[in-house]
Amino acid sequence: MLRSIWISNYSGCGKCTEGICFVNAIKLKDGKAEIRSESCLICGRCAEICENQAITILMAQDAVERSIKRVEKLVDIES
């Protein structure tokens, strides 16, 4: 399974750490964002709000579908 998330060109704005992540997998440490890969659902919310496109997600289609199901269990998407 191809599944990866990484951060580059981070500005230190902290927007990705402000209540964006469902599982608090992204934190600021010494002015840089860090992602705990063991907790990350690869949902893409942090990448979506980043104005600098500093967060990149790469994953295979089957991993996308599994991640959507995991996020759906955590969030009521219908409301």
**Distance in angstroms (rounded) separating the CA atoms of residues 72 and 24:** 16
**Among 3, 15, 45, 70, interactor with ligand SF4 by CB under 6 A:** 45
For residue 54, state whether it binds ligand SF4 (rule: CB under 6 A). Answer: no
Residues 25-44 that bind ligand SF4 (CB under 6 A): 25-26, 35, 40-44
Contacts 24+ apart (CB under 8 A), 31-38: 32/7, 33/7, 34/7, 35/5, 35/6, 35/7, 37/5
Nearest-approach distance from CB 4 to ligand SF4, in angstroms: 11
Q: How many residues bind ligand SF4 (CB under 6 A)?
A: 15
